Amino acid sequence: MNPPGPLPPIDESRLAVAPDLPDILPARKPRKGLLGLIRNNPAMAFGVFLLLVMLFLAIFAPFLGTVDPTSLSPSRRTRLPSEAYWFGTDMLGRDIYSRVLYGTRVSLTVGFSVAVLASIAGLVIGLVSGMVRWADSLIMRMIDGMMSIPPILLAIALMALTRGSMQNVIIAITVAEIPRVARLVRGVVLTLREQPYVDGAIAAGTRMPRLIFRHILPNTLAPMIVQATYICASAMIVEAILSFIGAGIPPTVPTWGNIMADGRTLWQVRPHIIVFPAIFLSVTVLAVNLVGDGLRDALDPRMAKRL
Amino acid sequence: MNQPILAVNDLRKHFPIRGGILSGVTGHVFAVDGVSFSIAKGETLSLVGESGCGKSTVGKAILRLFDLTSGQVVLDGQRIDDLSPSALRPLRQRIQVVFQDPFSSLNPRMRVRDILAEPITNFGLLKTRTEIDARLRALMAKVGLPPDAIDRWPHEFSGGQRQRIGIARALAAEPDLIICDEAVSALDVSVKAQIVNLLCDLQQELGLALLFISHDLAIVEHMTHRVAVMYLGKIVEKGPREAIFANPQHPYTKALLSAVPVPDPEIRRERIILRGDVPSPINPPKGCRFNTRCPYAVDRCRSEEPALRMVGNQHVAACHLIETAGEPSGTDNA
C-alpha cells in the first residue's frame, strides 16, 4: 500500500464556499461582587444575611446582654417577656433569651458539622461506588438498606446506643445522612464517566487518580454543595427533634430542642417558652434553604454562563 | 509494502443486555460484528452509515475505551487490543480523538491551558514550563485561535472555537492518527467547512492519518481518500472515494448516495427510498443484514450472508447480486 498523494480536485461548484469568519471571542464578563449577588438573587442574599446574623448571635452570645443560661432562679419562674427578661423565663426561672442565643451555637455547630462530615463521607463512598464496578452493587445495597429507615429513626436508634452528647448527636445524624450524599455523588459520577471529555482524557493518557481528581471530582462538587446545604438544614431539625424527645443533647445544655421540650407542658398558658426557640429554628432553616436554592441556581451547569 | 498505521481485523463488540432478578445476561447488542479495515500514514478513511450502525463503537474500540469482544487492533505493526492498560498508556499518544459535541468534550472546570497541557505532560513530551507554554501557544495559533486565550474557560468560546480546542488537544499529543467521531456534525454549515478545511490542512502539514466517522456524505466526498460504508455492525462496501461516489455497487450505498442533496434545482436524480427502519442490532436479520430493506433482495439474501468481494480496483462490496471483478477475498485488507 502506497501512501496516498494529495487529493485529486473535485467539482468545486458542488461545495458550499464558506467565508473565513473572524474569530471573535466574547468579552469576559467582570466578576460581580456582593451587589451583583443581591441584584441577581435577592432571596439568596437574604438567606446569607440571616445566616450571618445567626452566626453573629452564636459567636457573641456572651456579650449581647445575656446571663448564664443555666442559672436557676425559682422565685422568677415562668415570667412573660418583659424589659428584664426579653423572651421571658421558663419553669425553672432560666432566662429564655440567653438560652436561645446559646442554643444558636449548638444548632449551627451540629448543622455545619453534619453537612461537612456527611459530604466528605458520602463523596468518598459515592466516588468508590461510581468508579469501581464490582464494589458498586455491594455498596448500593447497603445504602438502600440504610435509606429504608427514616433518618430520624436511625438517629434515635444510634443515640440509644450511646450517651447523649453533642459529639454523639453529630455522629448519629451524619450516619443517617450519608446515604443521600452517596447516592447523589454516585449518580453524578456515573453520568460523568460517560462524558466525552472523560473519554478524551483517557485517550490523552490520563491516569486514574488524576482522572478522578481533575475530571470527575470537580464536576461532582456543585451538586454536592447544594445537597450539603439541605443536609445542614435537615440536621438542625433532627437535632432539635432529638433534644425535644430527650434522645439528644443532655437537657442541662441549652439547645432549641431542649428549651421547647421544657416548655411543652406549659404550652397552653406560657406559649412564649416554645415560640421563641421555634422562631429561631424556623428562620435558621429557612435561611439555609434559601442559600441552598440560590447555590443550586448559581452552580447549575446549564446556567453556568450566567456566572 | 508500506505498513498501514492502523489495521483493524474482524473487530467485534457485543454489549451484553442485563435484566431479570439476578441481573443475568438476556441478550447481546451486536454493535460491531466483524469489521476490518486499514489506514495508511497520511490517509483519510471515512466510516459512513446511518445512526446506530456501530460507527462510533468502532472508534471507541480502537481507542480502547472498552474491551473488545474479539478481533484485533494493530497499530503500526503492533497489536494493541490485548495490552494491559498500563502497557497501552504510552501507545495512546499515537491515536487521539475529536468528538462530536463541542460542549461536552471539554471539561468545564479546567482552563484551556490545562486541557491542552494534559496530553503533553501525561506522555512526557515536553519537560519545562516555558517549553510547554510555547507549545500551547503554537497549538492555539495552529487551530486559528488567539494564543492569549489559553487562560480562558471552555464556556467562554463558541461551538466552532471549542471544536478547534478539541482538535488542538488531539494535536498536542503529536499523534499519527486522529479519530474524528462525527467531529463536524454538530456545527453550523459555515463553521463545519472551516473545521473540515482545518483538518485537511493539518493532515497535509503533519502527515496525519484520519479515521473520519460521519453520516454526512457531502463532507466525506470533500475530504476523504477512501470510504467504508457500514450497515448494522458490518462493512458492506469499501473502496477509493472516486469508486464509491461514481460507481457504488452495494444497494445500500446507492440508497445513501441518492439521499445526498445536490445544490442545483435543475438536476433531477432518481432517489432510492428505503422502506422501514434499521433492524435491531440485538436481533439482526439472517443472511444479508440489509435484506429486510433491500429493493433487490432474493431468497439467497435471506439465508446466506454475503462476504466482501472484489468489485473493482481496491473496491469491495458484500452483495450476492454483484458481478465479481476478481477473486473473492474474505479477510481483505484493502
pLDDT tens column, A42-88: 888 899 999 999 999 999 988 887 788 888 888 888 788 888 888 88
Inspect the interface and report whether the beta carbons of A3 and B173 lie closer than 8 Å.
no
- Is B277 contained in some domain? yes
Position A30 scores a pLDDT of: 59
Position A41 scores a pLDDT of: 81
Residue pair A103/A259 in contact (Cβ under 8 Å)? The answer is yes
Helices A96-131 and A217-244 meet at what angle, rounded to 10?
140
- Measure the N-to-C terminal CA separation of chain B; round to a whole number of Å: 13
Inspect the interface and report whether the beta carbons of A205 and B152 lie closer than 8 Å.
no
- Alpha-carbon distance B44 to B308, whole Å? 21
Tell me which chain A residues have a C-beta less than 8 angstroms from the C-beta of B262.
14
- Alpha-carbon distance B321 to B299, whole Å? 11
Residue pair B19/B171 in contact (Cβ under 8 Å)? The answer is no
Entry pTM: 0.82
Q: Which of B327 and A149 is assigned the larger pLDDT? A: A149
- Alpha-carbon distance A221 to A123, whole Å? 9
- Alpha-carbon distance B219 to A7, whole Å? 14
- Is B101 contained in some domain? no
**Nearest C-alpha in B relative to A215:** B107
The residues in B 297-326 lying below 8 A from A, measured between CB atoms, are none
Question: Which range, of A74-78, B34-38, B117-121, B214-218, averages the lowest pLDDT?
Answer: A74-78
Overall domain count for chain B: 1
- Is B266 contained in some domain? yes
Mean pLDDT of B29-33: 90
Residue listed under C-alpha cell 447497603: A142
Position A233 scores a pLDDT of: 95
- Say which residues have a Cβ less than 8 Å from residue A184's Cβ, sequence separation at least 6: A122, A126, A223, A224, A227
DSSP character for B128?
A: S
Q: Which helix (H) or strand (E) holds B45?
A: strand B44-48
> What are the angstrom distances between the C-alpha of B332 and each of A180, A269, B62, B73, B210?
55, 95, 19, 15, 20
Give yes or no for residue B267 having a pLDDT over 80.
no
Can you give A150-172 as a three-state secondary structure string? Answer: CHHHHHHHHHHHCCCCHHHHHHH
Please report, rounded to a whole number, the percentage of residues in chain B having pLDDT higher than 70.
Answer: 94
Task: Count CB neighbours of A280 within 10 A.
Answer: 21
**Nearest C-alpha in B relative to A10:** B222
Question: Which range, of A20-24, A174-178, B130-134, averages the lowest pLDDT?
Answer: A20-24
The band of A241, judged by pLDDT with boundaries at 50, 70 and 90, is: very high
Q: What φ, ψ does residue B103 adopt, rounded to 5°?
A: -90, -35
CATH classification of A42-61+89-300, choosing from 3.40.50.880, 3.40.718.10, 2.60.40.10, 1.10.3720.10?
1.10.3720.10
- Is B27 contained in some domain? no
The band of B294, judged by pLDDT with boundaries at 50, 70 and 90, is: confident
User: Nearest Cα to B230, choosing from B308, B176, B313?
Assistant: B308
Please report, rounded to a whole number, the percentage of residues in chain A having pLDDT higher than 90.
Answer: 51
Give ipTM to 2 decimals.
0.86
What's the gap in Å between the CA of A303 and the closest CA on chain B? 11
Mean pLDDT of A161-176: 91
Q: Which of B2, B166, B172 sits opposite A3 (nearest CB)?
A: B2
- Alpha-carbon distance A292 to A41, whole Å? 12
Question: Which range, of B99-108, B114-123, B272-281, averages the lowest pLDDT?
Answer: B272-281
Inspect the interface and report whether the beta carbons of B107 and A203 lie closer than 8 Å.
no
Give yes or no for residue A257 having a pLDDT over 90.
yes
Inspect the interface and report whether the beta carbons of A1 and B4 lie closer than 8 Å.
yes
User: Nearest Cα to B104, choosing from A193, A194, A197, A306?
Assistant: A197
- Alpha-carbon distance A166 to A168, whole Å? 5
CA atoms within 13 A on the CB side of A53: 11
Position B21 scores a pLDDT of: 63
- Alpha-carbon distance B317 to B228, whole Å? 10
Give yes or no for residue A13 having a pLDDT over 70.
no
Residue pair B294/B251 in contact (Cβ under 8 Å)? The answer is yes
The band of A7, judged by pLDDT with boundaries at 50, 70 and 90, is: low
Residue pair A115/A170 in contact (Cβ under 8 Å)? The answer is no
Q: Would you list which residues of chain A are within 8 Å, Cβ to Cβ, of chain B? A: 1-4, 6-8, 10, 14-21, 23, 25-26, 28, 195-197, 199-207, 214-215, 218-219, 301, 304-305
Range A136-140, long-range pairs (CB < 8 A, 24+ positions): A136/A186, A139/A182, A140/A183, A140/A186
Domain extent for B309:
247-334
The pLDDT mean for chain B works out to 87
Please report, rounded to a whole number, the percentage of residues in chain A having pLDDT higher than 70.
Answer: 85
Position A305 scores a pLDDT of: 41
- Alpha-carbon distance B22 to A17, whole Å? 57
Look up residue B66 and give its three cell numbers: 472498552
The band of A8, judged by pLDDT with boundaries at 50, 70 and 90, is: low
Position A289 scores a pLDDT of: 93
Order of strands, edge to edge, in the sheet holding B24-39? B24-39, B6-19, B70-75, B78-79
- Is B309 contained in some domain? yes
Number of A to B CB contacts under 8 A, please give it: 127
How many residues does the structure list for chain B? 334
What's the gap in Å between the CA of B136 and the closest CA on chain A? 15
Mean pLDDT of B108-137: 93
Task: Count CB neighbours of B54 within 10 A.
Answer: 25
Amino acid found at B105: S
Give yes or no for residue A214 having a pLDDT over 70.
yes
- Is B63 contained in some domain? no
Mean pLDDT of A197-215: 93
The pLDDT mean for chain A works out to 85
- Is B287 contained in some domain? yes
Position A18 scores a pLDDT of: 44
Q: Which of B89, B166, B263 sits opposite A205 (nearest CB)?
A: B89
Position B3 scores a pLDDT of: 83
Residue pair A305/B155 in contact (Cβ under 8 Å)? The answer is yes
Range A27-31, long-range pairs (CB < 8 A, 24+ positions): A28/B152, A28/B156
In terms of Cβ atoms closer than 10 Å to its own Cβ (0-12, 13-18, 19+), residue B264 is exposed
Is the CB of residue B121 less than 8 Å away from at least one CB of chain A?
A: no
Task: Count CB neighbours of A108 within 10 A.
Answer: 20
Position A19 scores a pLDDT of: 45
- Is B39 contained in some domain? no
- Alpha-carbon distance B43 to B327, whole Å? 26
- Alpha-carbon distance A265 to A261, whole Å? 8
Give yes or no for residue B224 having a pLDDT over 80.
yes
Give yes or no for residue B328 having a pLDDT over 70.
no
Beta bridge partners of B235: B230
- Alpha-carbon distance A222 to A229, whole Å? 11
Position B160 scores a pLDDT of: 87
Q: Which of B192 and A6 is assigned the larger pLDDT? A: B192
- Alpha-carbon distance A289 to A287, whole Å? 5
pLDDT in tens, B48-106: 988 888 889 999 999 999 889 999 999 999 999 889 989 999 999 999 999 988 889 99
Beta bridge partners of B226: B45, B240
The band of B193, judged by pLDDT with boundaries at 50, 70 and 90, is: confident
Beta bridge partners of B14: B30
Inspect the interface and report whether the beta carbons of A25 and B146 lie closer than 8 Å.
yes
Q: Choosing among B73, B106, B118, which should be mutated to test the A contact, i.e. which has the most A CBs within 10 A?
A: B118
Position A307 scores a pLDDT of: 36
Question: Which range, of A38-42, A114-118, A253-257, averages the lowest pLDDT?
Answer: A38-42
Mean pLDDT of B175-203: 88
What b/e sequence results for A199-223 when a residue is b if at least 16 CB atoms lie within 10 Å of its CB, and e otherwise?
bbbbbbbbeeeebbebbbbebbbbb
